[in-house]
Structures are given as C-alpha cells and as structure tokens.
Amino acid sequence: MKHWLQRLRGKYRPMDRRERGVAMLVVLTWLALMISLVSEFTYGTTVDAAQAANARDEIRAHYLARSSVNLSRLLIKIQQKFVDPAMGQAKQMLQTALGGSNANNSSTGAAGAASNPMSPLSFSLRVTDYAGPLMGFFSGSKEEVSSLGNLIGIDTAGIKGLGLKSGSFDAEITAEDGKIDVACGSGVTPTRSRQLTVYRLLIGLMTSRRFDRLFSEADTTGQFTTRPEVARAIIDWADADDQMFSPEGASGSEDYKYDARADRYRAHDNSYDSIEELKMVRGVSDAFMEAFAPHLTVYASDPECRVNLGAISNKNGGDCTPLLMGIVRAAATPDPTKPPTDPSVLDDSRLYPIASVACDRASAAGFDNLQSITQLMKNPQTAVMPDDPRYRIFQGMQPITINDGELAKLAKVEAPRVYRIVATGVSGRVKKKITVIVDTRRSIANPLTMNPAAEKAAGVLQYWREE
C-alpha cells in the first residue's frame, strides 16, 4: 500500500497557475447558456399566453357585441309590437279625457291648445331610450343584476340567464328617420322636387348665426364657401346629371374642381353609401361634420324626404334643437330664393328657447301631430306647465307663424321605422364596436338566412360595420 502511494505521489504534478479556474469558466458559461435559454423560453411562453388571451378576448368581445345587437333588435320589435299600440290607445284616452284633438281633427286641437297647456303634446314610452340599463340585466355581474332588479321590484336570484361571469356589453339605439336624408332624390334618376325639399332643410339647418364661423373661414384648399354653395354641393355629389342644382331652376354645369386637388377624385354621382362620404363634398369640413352630422342621414326611408318628428329626441347625448329650428325655418321659407314669410324665425333669441323646450318635451312626451308643433310656435307657453317660471316669459313673446301645409311637406309624425344601433362588447382589454342600421319595414332583396320571413320580422340590415 505504501508502495502504491509513493508511485501516485511521484506521478502528481502541481497545476500551472495559468490552468487554474477552467472549471469555473465552464460552469459560468453553462449557467449563462441555461439562463438565456430559460429566459427565451419564459418570454416565448408569456407572449404565446398573451396572444391566446387576446385571441380569446377578441372572439368573446365580438360575440358580446353581436349579442348586444340581437337584444337591441328584440327591443325594437317589442317597441313596435307592444309598446307603440299601447301608447296609441293611451293617447286616445288622454285626448278624450282632456277634450283634445287627434290627427284627424286639427281644428279642435288648435282651439284647445290655447286653453290646455298639455293638449299639443301627448306622452310616449320608448324602451329603446333605455337600452343601456336594460342591457345591464344580461351583461352585468350578479350584484349589478340584483340591484337593477331591486329598482323595479324583481327578485333576480332564481332567474337563469341573467348577468355575465366575465366581460360586458352595451348598446345605444337611436331613430335614424328623425334626421335630414341627404340621399333622398339622388341616384341615377334624381327628382328635383325631392332635391328642393332637401335643399330647404339643409339651408334651414345651417341658417343659425351660431354657425357663421363655419362659412367665414377658408377650407384646407383655401376656398371660401357659402351656405347655399354647400347645400348645392351636397345634392350634386349624389345625382347623376352634370347640371348644378339651383333653387331658381336654370343653372350651369357642375364644376366643383375635385380633380384639381392634390388628391384628385371625381364626384360619386350616385346615392351616398354612408354619412362619412359627406367629407368628400366641397365645403364640408371636420367642423361642419361636428356641427351637422348628428342631424343628417343617408338611411331614412320617406319617399318625400320628410323628417319624422316622432323620432327626434334629446336623449343619449343628442340635441334636436338645431334640427327643429331648421325645419321651422324651412317651413317658413317655401321659396328659398325669397325671405321667409315670418322674418322672426331668423331671430335665434326668439326661436331657440321655444325649440329647445319643444325638444325637451318631445323627448319626454312626443308630438301628437304636426298641428301641435304649429300651435306650439304660436302659443309657446303651452310647452311648459303654468307653474314653470318660463310660462310668463313665453306668454309675453310674439308668436311664430308657420303654415301647416308647408310643414307637412317637410316633416311628419309617426313611429320610428329606421334605427341605428351602436353595440359594444368588452372582454379583458379588448373592446369591439358594431354599428348597425335596421329598417323595420323594408323588403329583403338578398336574404342572409333560410328563413326570410323571420329575418324581415327582425328588421332588414342596411348597414353593418365592425371596429
């Protein structure tokens, strides 16, 4: 044993100083390699998990938004099939009790308007105005659903299908036929009488002095435009002929120089595809769209281009006062080349207070008929209750006179037909928005389902946009 130890000692050679630490370098290199590999693996796994979560939330938010659209169409159907008939019966009962008028007895209503402040206005219920709270029963948490149920005295604990475990959806429903249809009378065969109606409505809408700045500043191309020029350009963009529209009748050819711009293009010369297309028209700026786009549409369905005053509302953040002021001014100006029959309609300080109160009451009660509006202009105190401080102020104001027949050429009062649905679905950090236009009486040209009757009953889709 001792012999072997001596031999081993003889073979042992001390390590050179330069050879020390090699093992340490190998270990450090190996650790660095493993750390980089683990980091890369962890990062890749995190990215993949985030992408999977985003894809999941994308799909979930999309279908939550679609669920909101479907529930909105159901609310519209409930409004038309159940609520509107009930409100019609209630109006008749109210008119009988108050001795008021109906749509077929305007003379009685005119006489009763002065004596009864409530006679020019009826009352209505639009469940579509409360789409947001109603959606809460289906999209909220259990606590939110329970609190909503308590507000109306319903115990939701035993009701299945209410609320969501994750995500949410909401919807805003507005009537589209309570706006000026700039596409009316356009297309391959434009109709001058309809174009003249649209022209009168547009001029009336833009007349207010509060919009003077829009027409006193140059646009991005350095051009100045007047109110009549913008109204003509909007009409000419969507008609197929080459003649410039003019309320006088005779006119020259269209020459809006769209092809002389840096980004050259040509006029559409056909019906508008969307309201955003107005931005292509000469004189229509972002400021113009901000001021007037809420009162314009391309989806209304009245063949005579009339605005449905039964669909106007101040709810959902809207303001129908400028629109009603424009309609009153257009009715007072049968010939747009001449001054109005009642010059007082041009005075914002007189027309605006009456129109704003009328819009507030229209949002809460609804107009009974067109005669109620003309009587309201003549007797503005009927828009408020006698104990309202504004009652005496309106009593001292000079009446504004508009002709019933001229108003009937520009407006009507009936239940809304065309609706705009803006549905949103939220899941995680993903938010989806779907904008839909639904026409509840339009015929289906191209059915999307195997049951066209049911599809038509739910409302025909005119527009669908996801973003």
CATH (domain of 196): 1.10.40.60
Please count the structural domains in the chain.
1
Q: How confident is the model at residue 122 (pLDDT cuts 50, 70, 90)?
A: low
Q: Report the C-alpha gap between 458 and 438 in whole angstroms.
A: 9
In a domain, residue 147? The reply is no
- Average pLDDT over the chain, rounded to an integer: 82
SS3 112: helix
Q: Between these two residues, 458 and 302, which has the higher pLDDT value?
A: 302
φ and ψ at residue 432, rounded to 5 degrees: -115, 145
Q: Report the C-alpha gap between 132 and 45 in whole angstroms.
A: 39
SS3 116: coil
In a domain, residue 197? The reply is yes
In a domain, residue 14? The reply is no
pLDDT at 114 over 60: no
pLDDT at 115 over 60: no
Q: What tens digit of pLDDT does each residue of 314-369 get? A: 877 678 899 999 999 999 999 988 989 888 889 888 888 888 888 887 777 777 78
DSSP string spanning 407-457? HHHHEE-----EEEEEEEEEETTEEEEEEEEEESSPPPSS-SSS-HHHHHH
pLDDT of residue 243: 85
In a domain, residue 260? The reply is yes
In a domain, residue 187? The reply is yes
Outline where DSSP puts E strands in 248-333.
296-297, 307-308
pLDDT of residue 120: 44
Outline where DSSP puts E strands in 204-339.
296-297, 307-308
Q: Report the C-alpha gap between 85 and 249 in whole angstroms.
A: 44
pLDDT of residue 363: 79
Give the whole-number percent of the chain exceeding pLDDT 90. 28
In a domain, residue 259? The reply is yes
SS3 323: helix
In a domain, residue 208? The reply is yes
Q: Report the C-alpha gap between 371 and 407 in whole angstroms.
A: 9
Q: What pTM value is reported for the model?
A: 0.82
**pLDDT (average), residues 400-413:** 91
Structural domain containing residue 234:
179-305
Q: What tens digit of pLDDT does each residue of 184-221 get? A: 988 878 888 999 999 999 999 999 999 999 888 877 77
Q: Report the C-alpha gap between 3 and 200 in whole angstroms.
A: 124
pLDDT of residue 108: 40
In a domain, residue 96? The reply is no
